Amino acid sequence: MKSELAEMAVDQKRTMPVDDDVPETVPVPHALVPHLDETAILLDIDGTLLDLMPTPREVWVPPGLSETLKRLVERTSGALALVSGRSLNDIDLIFAPDVYRAVAGHGAEMRLSVDNEVDDVHAPPLDKELKRRLAAIAKLSPGILLEDKGYSLALHYRLAPHAEKAIFEAVSLIRADLPNAPIEVLPGKFVCEIKHSGFTKATGVHELMKHEPFRGRRPLFIGDDVTDETVFAIMPDMNGLAFSVGRRAMGVNGHFDAPSDVRAFLARLLDPR
């Protein structure tokens, strides 16, 4: 019998909702340039800012992107943040030596200041026994990669797509044994992540926007995956703009075809013409 969790993963990943009313293109960049001093730029990383790779460790920062982000940080007086499922440590390794404000780990971590680590926020770690049982799922097939973030555990199967159903069914069985455990399963692009319930990218963005230099600004969020939909959903309440990448997601203001288009868009925001 198929587990409900496996069915949910397939439904969310392969039949993502599309809104026929979504514009085919993004707004002309020049329409935003005069207002960068009133805008908060929020960017997902994998599949949005950076191209997807066979494994999470293979992503890289293309030439020119670092300079673009630095200039956007200056133009927005620091109101630029990365919003990712990756940990803060992972984000720093990818973009080193540059350091950015960030909502990391799907809201489990947050960096409010690039100058003071005391301001960083971290969720509590997952139970060790639970992590041990979840980690054993990686043995189902070669190509399943295990990522332990402390507060969550991710099973990447881009190199073993045939194992998708088995992974989600195994996770479902573990959850059935622990019905009261405060955990949540996040299906993504060839990844199944298990984390503490109670925080999402949306809760992280809500909290981030309460602090300087983001407070009072209009958020502009760009994301590509299922986990970004929680942020898409709150943008109207924040008078914000939302853009999807690779697909026309429901409720967004427009979409990009690929991360390269996102990078070009960000660079054009800085064009003085």
Give the CA radius of gyration of the chain.
18
Coil/strand/helix, residue 160: coil
Those residues whose C-beta lies under 8 Å from the C-beta of residue 63, and which sit 6 or more positions away, are none
Those residues whose C-beta lies under 8 Å from the C-beta of residue 84, and which sit 6 or more positions away, are 44, 45, 46, 91, 102, 103, 104, 105
**In which residue are the tokens 């955990």 written?**
183
The residues annotated with a catalytic role in the active site are 44
- How many CB atoms lie under 10 A from the CB of residue 37? 10
Task: Using DSSP bridges, classify how beta strands 152-156 and 183-188 pair: parallel, antiparallel or unpaired.
Answer: unpaired
Q: Rounded CA gap, 130 and 122, in Å?
A: 19
Burial status of residue 235 (CB atoms within 10 A of its CB: 0-12, 13-18, 19 or more): buried
